[in-house]
Copies of this chain bind each other. A is one copy, B any other.
Amino acid sequence: MSKKYKVIFQPSGSRGEVQEGKTLMEAAQQLGVDLEAICGGKGTCGKCKVRVEEGYFEKDAIDSRMAHLSPVSEVEQKFIKKEDGPNIRLACSTTLHGDVKIFVPEKSRAGKQIVRKAAKEISIALDPAVRKYFVELEKPTLHDLAKGDVERLVSFLKKEYDLGDLSIDFTVLTGLQDTLRKGDWKVTASVWMGKEIVKVEPGFVEVNYGIAVDVGTTTVAAYLCEMGTGKVVATESMMNPQVPYGEDVMSRITYAMTNDDGLETMQNAIISGINELLVKVTAGLKENGAAGPDTIMDMTVVFNTAMHHIFLGFNPEYIGRSPFIPAIQNDINIKARDLGININRASYVHVLPIEAGFVGADNVGVLIAEEPYNQDEKVLIIDIGTNGELLLGNRDAVCSTSCATGPAFEGAQIKFGMRAAPGAIEKVIIDPETKDPKFKVIGKADWHTHVEKVEAKGICGSGIIDVVAEMFKAGVIDKSGRFVSDLNTPRVRTATDGKPEYVLAWADETSIGSDITVTQGDVRALQLAKGALYAGAKLMMQKMGIEKLDRVILAGAFGSFIDKEAALTLGMFPDCDIDKVYAVGNAAGDGARMALLNLGKRKEARERARWLEFVEIAVEPEFEKEFMMAMHIPHMKDKFTNLKNMLEKSGSPVQVKG
């Protein structure tokens, strides 16, 4: 048995005993302390800086604060700068060898994500997988000797509702006799897919709840629906509780591969998280007498392939490396109790099909929600999450692909990047003359124009898209993404790495005590991300012989908050009439809801997931070349007629090819 040491985290005050040799990040996870772990503790993002407050006195240590921790590693030397101040360590790279008190600076706190997955109205014919049937049996007599309770129930359902060949879940069977007698032979039977009885309740029960869940890499959203009306009764969302094990898909796959019980730990985290979400989302049902997740009769779920595998307890290793083979690609129905999901235990969780190793059920959700296969217009659908997924086509054919955009669109790999949490700068306008910005901070109602102090903390995904587009429009950077020199403004200066940076907020406007800047590196990260999307879309267009997009749909957790003009300005997608660019919000979640409410949509998902063509863009020989050209803003060569007109109208001094 190894020793345990006392660890205290400030400012939260969380404290507890932690095993010797654990990292400070593991200690934070164990004690539930809010600490960034964007790279999943691999020492590649440098976002988990903490300050050592006390190491308790130890005579021989030169600095007593460090006496109880491992020596400073090379990784830490790389990331920790003088301006970070004294006693800073990387939590992921520092192991515990004594009692310590640790301070987590605001910058290193993950914060509570602002969840932007509200349910939009969808209109769909109702044909849910689970339906309720009222049953009224005759009281049994001695003459019924050769008939059991089940047989009497099943024969009634056959006679009255034409439900032939019904089976009954074993856990329903165990309580059936008492339920029938409690209801005085009047009960309501819930039947799944017209073939299995998954619940029997005494008396007449009309409401029939189902839930659609969208498990994003970062955010989990749950939509509770009444399946008899299709209405969304309640919506809840939460951070994906797997975030502490890695902020992106690859970090979590790595976590599963490098920790003995890594997969189990992450699976348990998401299952327990969803169970908590189920309790919250059903909390309002109490007036109906039948409260709690147990009243939920059906569930659909979408996610990317890695979240899919981890949720289901499948080893995600093989989808993370060539030839990227998933465990299963078709849809699957799993008994809720086998997964440990606390809806009605006899009910099923319907997992939508995935497309390929890196294009998941979430993209299938987008597909059936937007139905490009039913349209004449050639549409490009960009689903921007932690990965970027593209769908392109119309009723003739649809292609899909996945682009390794990296997490820049979500604020990661950006010097002051952060998630869309309070304190994040989310919208920016830069004056082309003065180069001074106005910005809007999440949690504040108004735009900030230097009059009042706001507590800006960093820049979120939509903010970084805005600011870089604005920097381009204001002539701060050129089309290659380079900073324009000699601008004669204190906003542009040389950073400690010798490269230029743009000061978006001065230290006194922030809550982190330092200027918030956009660096040359940040601009490059965004160029890489948008270049990947653009090149992917372009190659798909070439493959399908599409010259011009009729319509662009921006979907995803923050799809409805992205500024479509900024996205077009950057060249996130090929030129398109800005009036034909739509932000549809969480289309993956919409698809999950549709599959919940309509069995035809499940069939559509199954068939269309196989019908569409998956294109592995990154292996196309043209990709590198297209990618390089697409890094330019908006593009090195392609014409942007619509953008050109738009910029001219706005009076921007910047010229683009049109």
| Contact residues on A (Cβ < 8 Å of other chain), bracket | 35 or more
Residue ranges of A at the interface with B (Cβ–Cβ < 8 Å): 140-151, 170-171, 173-174, 176-178, 181, 312-315, 317-318, 322-330, 332, 334-335, 337-339, 354-357, 610, 614, 616, 619
**11 A-B pairs (CB sep. < 8 Å):** A141-B323, A145-B357, A147-B329, A148-B354, A149-B326, A150-B327, A173-B312, A173-B328, A173-B332, A176-B314, A181-B318
- Chain B: CB-nearest residue to A154: B330
**Interchain CB contact under 8 A, B145 and A356:** yes
The listed residue with most B CB atoms (<10 A of its CB), out of A314, A334, A339, A356, is: A314
- Chain B: CB-nearest residue to A143: B323
CA distance A25 to B282 in the complex (A): 47
- Chain B: CB-nearest residue to A357: B145
Given A170-B338, A330-B151, check contact A146 B356 (CB 8 Å). Answer: yes
**Interchain CB contact under 8 A, A151 and B329:** yes
- Chain B: CB-nearest residue to A312: B174
Chain B residues near A176: list those with CB within 8 A.
314, 327
**Interchain CB contact under 8 A, A614 and B145:** yes
Knowing that A148-B354, A174-B312 touch, tell me 8 more A-B residue pairs with CB under 8 angstroms: A145-B356, A149-B326, A173-B312, A173-B332, A174-B314, A176-B314, A177-B315, A178-B315
**Interchain CB contact under 8 A, A150 and B335:** no
**Interchain CB contact under 8 A, A145 and B616:** yes
Partner of A149, one of B149, B327, B338: B327
Partner of A148, one of B144, B178, B330: B330
Partner of A151, one of B178, B328, B355: B328
CA distance A174 to B314 in the complex (A): 5
**Interchain CB contact under 8 A, B328 and A146:** no
Chain B residues near A144: list those with CB within 8 A.
323, 325
CA distance A329 to B152 in the complex (A): 10
CA distance A447 to B140 in the complex (A): 54
- Chain B: CB-nearest residue to A267: B174
**Interchain CB contact under 8 A, A173 and B142:** no
Instruction: Tell me the minimal C-beta distance from A148 to chain B in angstroms.
Output: 4
- Chain B: CB-nearest residue to A178: B315
Given A171-B338, A173-B312, check contact A322 B148 (CB 8 Å). Answer: no
Chain B residues near A329: list those with CB within 8 A.
146-148, 150-151
Given A149-B326, A328-B148, check contact A314 B616 (CB 8 Å). Answer: no
**Interchain CB contact under 8 A, B170 and A328:** no
**Interchain CB contact under 8 A, A150 and B330:** yes
Chain B residues near A145: list those with CB within 8 A.
323-324, 356-357, 614, 616
CA distance A140 to B339 in the complex (A): 28
**Interchain CB contact under 8 A, B142 and A322:** yes
**Interchain CB contact under 8 A, A170 and B335:** yes
Chain B residues near A174: list those with CB within 8 A.
312-314
CA distance A149 to B305 in the complex (A): 14
**Interchain CB contact under 8 A, B151 and A318:** no
**Interchain CB contact under 8 A, B312 and A146:** no
Chain B residues near A149: list those with CB within 8 A.
318, 325-328
**Interchain CB contact under 8 A, A150 and B328:** yes
**Interchain CB contact under 8 A, A140 and B323:** yes
| For the complex of A and B, 9 pairs with smallest distance between CB atoms | A148-B329, A150-B328, A148-B326, A142-B323, A148-B328, A174-B313, A170-B334, A140-B325, A145-B356
